[in-house]
């Protein structure tokens, strides 16, 4: 699928490490902000999750770095769904981070997660309304049923 959801960010001083490039955890923070922004764009922000007593939980993040991101760079972060279980309770997503100045790929981040029921304290299928929205998220070309 060629569609993609993306956000632009300006690299701040607090995103840097002592080597004067973006610190490892800042990449993950930008990807998380992009995912949450996407969920909010179709009505599933923090207040909606609070009402549902449900939220996303991550099992792992895998980051690959390709190009340095320096102070004051602007980056574009995108997100696509790379897999969903039959019930929709588990999912994987793929992020790409590009330097805006030259459109060079800086990093990719793959995550695996699930929907977590806060009342039962366990992974569970999302409500149908959320599942229908997640089915609209742009998918990777190698999308698979988990």
Per-residue pLDDT of 16-75, as tens digits, reads 999 999 999 999 999 999 999 988 988 888 898 999 999 999 999 999 999 999 999 999
Q: For the whole model, what pTM was predicted?
A: 0.91
Give the whole-angstrom CA distance, residue 116 versus residue 52.
10
User: Model confidence at 125, in pLDDT bands (50, 70, 90)?
Assistant: very high
Q: What is the pLDDT of residue 44?
A: 87
- pLDDT-derived band at 138 (thresholds 50, 70, 90) equals confident
| Mean pLDDT confidence for 65-88 | 96
Q: Looking at the predicted structure, is the pLDDT value of residue 131 above 90?
A: no
**33-46: per-residue pLDDT in tens?**
999 998 898 888 88
Contact 108, 97 (CB under 8 A): yes
Name the burial class of residue 133, with classes exposed (0-12), middle (13-18) and buried (19+) by CB atoms within 10 angstroms of its CB.
middle
Of the given ranges (68-72, 97-101, 135-139), which has the lowest mean pLDDT?
Answer: 135-139
pLDDT of res. 107: 98
Does the structure show a pLDDT above 90 at 101? Answer: yes
Tell me the CATH number for domain 5-138: 3.10.129.10
Instruction: In whole angstroms, give the CA distance from residue 15 to residue 20.
Output: 9
């Amino acid at each position: 699928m060629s569609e993609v959801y993306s956000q632009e960010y300006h690299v701040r001083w607090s995103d840097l490490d002592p080597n004067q490039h973006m610190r490892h955890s800042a990449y993950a923070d930008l990807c998380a902000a992009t995912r949450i922004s996407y969920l909010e764009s179709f009505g599933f922000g923090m207040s909606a999750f609070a009402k549902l007593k449900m939220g996303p939980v991550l099992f792992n993040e895998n980051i690959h770095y390709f190009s340095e991101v320096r102070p004051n760079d602007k980056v574009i972060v995108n997100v696509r769904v790379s897999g969903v279980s039959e019930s929709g309770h588990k999912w994987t997503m793929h992020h790409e981070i590009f330097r805006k100045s030259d459109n060079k790929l800086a990093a990719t981040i793959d995550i695996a997660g699930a929907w977590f029921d806060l009342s039962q304290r366990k992974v569970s299928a999302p409500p149908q309304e959320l599942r229908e929205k997640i089915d609209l998220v742009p998918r990777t070309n190698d999308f698979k049923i988990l």
